């Protein structure tokens, strides 16, 4: 079998929920997503489509049908990206206003993240990329209430001697080569 020479882009995520309306309201409120459609899936389950990007009909699809006896979903996390560390700090304040308590605020070296649970216990992440590549996994707690420059400086100091540390642009250029090779070598 020959691999396609065009790369498929990940654009949305869908998962099953117990309380469709409560989950939809949570994602609308916290992430300002807009409901684009609502109906019944081919399997007969109520379904809601939402997006925060006019170029994507939906980025998040919630489908009713998670059995009440299920202790949890198999979803690891839903992740949302903001543009800068300062924007992440603003989002952290927004979560506080929404009454959402983070389970963790951390530096991964290559990003800063806020983790919290949605109303049904699914792990949600909001993150901002850093200017560095740092081998993963890397995790260090951070206080996002501190000044932005202080967090940048602290993160740099904590990762600059970490193995393959380098500017993210250098890492991305190497990854671009690997991705191109993967498309053409199949």
pLDDT tens digits, residue range 18-74?
899 999 999 999 999 999 999 998 888 899 999 998 888 899 999 998 777 877 677
pLDDT at position 77 over 90: no
Q: Considering the entire predicted model, what is its pTM?
A: 0.83
Answer whether the bond into residue 15 is a cis peptide, omega within 30°.
no
Residue 1 pLDDT grade (very low, low, confident, very high; cuts 50, 70, 90): very low
pLDDT at position 5 over 80: no
Per-residue pLDDT of 132-153, as tens digits, reads 999 898 999 999 999 999 999 9
Mean pLDDT of the chain: 89
What's the rounded Cα separation, in Å, for the pair 113 and 104? 8
What's the confidence (pLDDT) of residue 162? 86
123 vs 144, more confident: 144
**Structural domain 12-70, CATH architecture:** Roll (3.10)
**Structural domain 76-179, CATH architecture:** 2-Layer Sandwich (3.30)
Query: What is the percent of the chain where pLDDT is above 90?
Result: 66
What's the rounded Cα separation, in Å, for the pair 49 and 164? 40
Residue 93 pLDDT grade (very low, low, confident, very high; cuts 50, 70, 90): very high
What's the rounded Cα separation, in Å, for the pair 32 and 162? 37
**Residues carrying CATH 3.30.720.110, the chain:** 76-179
**Residues carrying CATH 3.10.180.10, the chain:** 12-70
DSSP H helices, the chain, are 20-31, 85-98, 148-159, 168-184
What's the rounded Cα separation, in Å, for the pair 40 and 23? 16
What's the confidence (pLDDT) of residue 12? 87
């Amino acid at each position: 079998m020959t691999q396609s020479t065009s790369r498929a882009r990940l654009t949305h995520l869908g998962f099953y929920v117990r309380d469709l309306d409560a989950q939809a309201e949570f994602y609308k409120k916290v992430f300002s997503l807009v409901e684009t459609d609502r109906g019944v899936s081919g399997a007969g389950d109520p379904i809601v489509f939402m997006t925060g990007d006019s170029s994507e009909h939906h980025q998040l699809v919630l489908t009713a049908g998670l059995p009440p006896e299920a202790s949890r979903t198999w979803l690891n996390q839903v992740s949302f990206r903001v543009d800068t560390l300062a924007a992440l700090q603003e989002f952290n304040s927004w979560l506080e206003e929404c009454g959402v308590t983070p389970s963790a605020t951390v530096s991964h070296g290559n990003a800063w993240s806020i983790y919290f649970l949605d109303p049904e216990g699914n792990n949600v992440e909001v993150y901002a990329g850093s200017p560095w590549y740092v081998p993963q996994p890397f995790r260090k707690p951070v206080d996002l209430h501190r000044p932005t420059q202080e967090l940048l400086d602290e993160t740099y100091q904590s990762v600059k001697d970490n193995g393959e540390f380098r500017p993210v642009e250098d890492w991305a250029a190497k990854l671009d080569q690997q991705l191109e090779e993967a498309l053409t070598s199949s």
